[in-house]
Amino acid sequence: MIMVTTERMSIFPISDDEMKLKIEQETNGEMKRAYMEMLAGCKKSPEQRIWHTIWFMQLNDGSGQIVGDLCFKGLNDNGSVEIGYGMKEGYEGRGLMTEAVTAMAKWAITQEGVSCIESETDSNNIASQRVLLKAGFVPTGVMGEEGPRFVWEKC
């Protein structure tokens, strides 16, 4: 199993069965649809599964606590991958997401076919924009569907 380890976390992709359970438990309709699209991507392109699945962020403190998750939104023909992420309530403001996004960007850029990492965040989500900036992303000046776009490596 693939695992990316940071100082405080282990980050790993979950199985299709675990994704189904996550979908069943999700109460936010928008997130539920996004997870369903991700699962469909896993099934459609199993050889590219890591670019469609949910990655759990688990604390390394012995608690086994899942504090958030990340995902990529597929590997594009130009070699770009877009990262998305979310933190469980109560774990914000500790630098965990910055640690995870930094580690995953560094991991992803070393994968075959990947030339850059992108992200997009809601215009009003200043905390998410701060995460990206601290992780080494830079604004592209482009507004996407959700808000401003950022890039970690040039696309």
Residue 34 confidence (pLDDT): 92
Domain boundaries, the chain: 4-151
What is the pLDDT at residue 1? 82
What is the reported pLDDT for 155? 58
The identity of residue 108, as a single letter, is: A
- 4-151, superfamily in CATH? Gcn5-related N-acetyltransferase (GNAT) (3.40.630.30)
Digitized pLDDT (tens) for each residue of the chain, 155 residues in all: 899 999 999 999 999 999 999 999 999 998 899 999 999 999 999 999 999 999 999 999 999 999 999 999 999 999 999 999 999 999 999 999 999 999 999 999 999 999 999 999 999 999 999 999 999 999 999 999 889 999 997 65
Amino acid found at 75:
L
